[in-house]
Structure 1
Amino acid sequence: MREPLSRERVLAAAVALADAEGVPALTMRRLAKDLGVEAMSLYHHLPGKDALLDGLVESVVGEIVGAVDDERDDDWQVTLRRWFLTAREVMLRHPWAPALLGRGRPVPPVLYLYYEKILATLIGAGFSYRIAHRALHAFGSMPLGFVQETFGGGDDEDPDAEEAALAAMAEAMPHLAAMVAAELHAATDPTLGWCDSQVEFQFTLDLLLDGLERCRVEPM
Structure 2
Amino acid sequence: MWHMARPRKPLLSRARIVACALALVDDEGLQAVTTRRLAAELGVRGPSLYNHFRTKDDILDAVADAVCADVDLSMFEPYTEGAEAAEGAERAGSTDGPGAADWQDALARWARSYRAALAAHPHIVPYLARGPGRRPSQLRMADAVFGALTAAGWSRAQATHIGATMRYFVAGSALGSFARGFVDDAELYARDYPHLDEAHLLAEYQQRVDDGAFETGLRALLAGLAQPRDD
- TM-score > 0.5 by shorter chain: yes
Q: Any idea what the Cα deviations from partners look like across 1:2-59, whole Å, max 9, x if unmatched?
A: 4331223211221123223333333323322332222221122233433333332232
Q: Which residue of 2 aligns with 1:147?
A: 172
Runs of 5+ in structure 2 lacking a partner?
1-5, 79-99
Q: Which residue of 2 aligns with 1:80?
A: 107
Secondary structure at 2:12 match in 1: coil
Secondary structure at 1:63 match in 2: coil
The 3 A distance-change label for structure 1 pair 130 and 21 is closer
TM normalised by structure 2 equals 0.65
Secondary structure at 1:91 match in 2: helix
Distance in 1 separating the partners of 2:213 and 2:105: 18
Counting aligned pairs with the same residue, the percent is 29
Distance in 2 separating the partners of 1:149 and 1:92: 5
Q: 2:133 aligns with which of 69, 88, 107?
A: 107
Q: Which residue of 2 aligns with 1:12?
A: 19
The 3 A distance-change label for structure 1 pair 201 and 4 is same
The answer to whether the 8 A contact 2:62-2:135 is kept is no
1:1-220 equivalent positions in 2, closer than 5 A: 1-2=6-7, 3-64=10-71, 67-69=72-74, 70-72=76-78, 74-102=101-129, 104=130, 107-110=133-136, 111-142=138-169, 145-147=170-172, 182=199, 185-190=202-207, 197-212=210-225, 214-216=226-228
The answer to whether the 8 A contact 1:185-1:197 is kept is no
Distance in 1 separating the partners of 2:195 and 2:127: 31
How many residues end up aligned between the 2 structures?
A: 197
The answer to whether the 8 A contact 1:54-1:105 is kept is no
Return 42-51 or 115-124, whichever deviates more: 42-51
Code of the aligned partner of 1:138: T
Runs of 5+ in structure 1 lacking a partner?
none
TM normalised by structure 1 equals 0.68
Deviation at 1:94?
A: 0.7
Secondary structure at 1:147 match in 2: helix
The answer to whether the 8 A contact 1:18-1:25 is kept is yes
Secondary structure at 1:16 match in 2: helix
The 3 A distance-change label for structure 1 pair 125 and 31 is same
Larger Rg: 2
Distance in 2 separating the partners of 1:98 and 1:78: 24
